[in-house]
Structure 1
Amino acid sequence: MQRTPLAEFAAKRHAWTANRLGMSQGALSKAIREGRTIFVSVTDSGEISAVEEKPFPGQRRSASYPTCTNDRSAGAIGSGPEVPVHPSSPSAPVQ
Structure 2
Amino acid sequence: MGILSMLGLVSKSKNIKEFTNKGAVIIDVRSRGEFQGGHIKGSKNIPLDTIAAKISEIKKLEKPVIVCCRSGMRSAQAASILKENGIEVINGGGWQSLESKL
TM-score w.r.t. the length of structure 2 is: 0.22
Structure label with greater radius of gyration:
1
> Quick check: which one's helix share is greater?
2
Structure with higher RCO (Cα < 8 A, 6+ apart) = 2
